[in-house]
A and B are shown apart, each in its own frame.
Chain A
């Protein structure tokens, strides 16, 4: 792509300039590796969580809308149990820890565009993805878990009424915030490290 901007520049000469400009001492090399690793991890975990929330928004939530109350309650209960596994937690908590760690290793570049974008991503995901989930969706899941799927129709209908609409709405909100956080992190990857 860069070739389009510098059409006259010779490939080999550019490669050698790059190597020269990137030649750094041992600790400097380690720092740039750690920065790239943490920012890469932050970007991928945040993208995955954004996609998980998006999957509910466009697939699971509308897909279960036509189910009977008993079936809806039983299905959401099982999904809410099964989501608590190491793979999902690695991405859900990774999307908090990786960006925060990436922020720390970029502290020396406090005024860089990259630092600014990582900070923005942390705010967006920790507030609009992580805390929203912990404070709104999870308590609703816990409440739903107390309902017996074999309970009388009126009880199931009330339980679903209290859960489905608000849960789907807040899921849409966390989808938007996590996707914006993901976009900010991809943007951060494009900025110079310092």
Chain B
């Protein structure tokens, strides 16, 4: 079980790091790039991006890592008092709250609302700037949470082999 838990932690640490990089891309430049387009282009491009996101290649990483993190949080209570437990709990919870929680309860509903906006229609510009501001601000938190989660899980691994 120890070996299995370590493999799971390793995989989750990689998943958190890659997910952090995905959120980082949107926080650092993708949204800013779209924002420089006319509203019609920005809304159209973001609708395309949101339509592509549910493909298995991304879902496996995002939610597969979520499942692994859930298992690590659960498992952390069984190794409580051991050197890695706190890092497993913190890393797993941070990813679940920031990456999964925000995605499901904040970003996806707003993506769905944006999907109903007519890119060239009246009001697209106002809808885009509202969407862009809130979406990006909360995306910074997805990025930070996933990055700290990855670091925390790596720390759990380091302490488990020391």
Residues in A lying within 8 Å of B, measured CB to CB: 1-5, 11, 18, 40, 43-44, 47-60, 62-67, 71, 74-75, 78-83, 85, 87-88, 91, 179, 182-183, 186, 189-190
Contacts and interface: CB of A to CB of B under 8 A. Distances in A.
A48 B21 contact: yes
B25 A56 contact: yes
Nearest to B21: A51
Interface in B13-52: 13-14, 17-26, 28-30, 32-34, 36-37, 41, 44-46, 48-52
A51 B45 contact: no
Contacts of A53: 21
A149 B6 CA distance: 51
A59 B58 contact: yes
Contacts of B126: none
Contact of B41 (A2, A44, A71, A88): A71
B137 interface: no
Contacts of B84: 1-2
A1 B6 contact: yes
Contacts of A182: 14, 17-18
Contact of B29 (A5, A62, A85, A179): A85
Contacts of B161: 2, 190
B48 A66 contact: yes
B121 interface: no
- Interface size classification for chain B: 35 or more
Q: Is the interface of A mostly helix, strand, loop or mixed?
A: helix
A67 B150 contact: no
B129 to A, nearest CB: 16
A87 B28 CA distance: 7
B154 A43 contact: yes
B24 A52 contact: yes
Interface stretch (B75-83, B90-98, B102-110): B75-83
Nearest to B81: A11
Given A48-B24, A75-B34, A82-B36, A58 B17 contact: no
Contact of A63 (B14, B50, B81): B50
A86 to B, nearest CB: 9
B122 interface: no
B55 A62 contact: yes
26 contacts: A1-B82, A2-B82, A4-B5, A11-B81, A44-B17, A51-B18, A51-B21, A52-B22, A54-B21, A54-B22, A59-B22, A59-B49, A59-B53, A60-B49, A63-B45, A63-B53, A65-B52, A66-B48, A71-B45, A75-B37, A79-B33, A79-B34, A81-B33, A83-B33, A182-B18, A190-B10
Contacts of A5: 2
Listed from nearest, the 4 A-B pairs whose CB atoms lie closest are A51-B21, A47-B17, A63-B49, A4-B2
A130 to B, nearest CB: 15
A53 B57 CA distance: 13
B52 to A, nearest CB: 4
Nearest to B47: A63
A82 B162 CA distance: 42
Contacts of B81: 3, 11
A78 B58 contact: no
A82 B114 CA distance: 23
Contacts of B159: 2
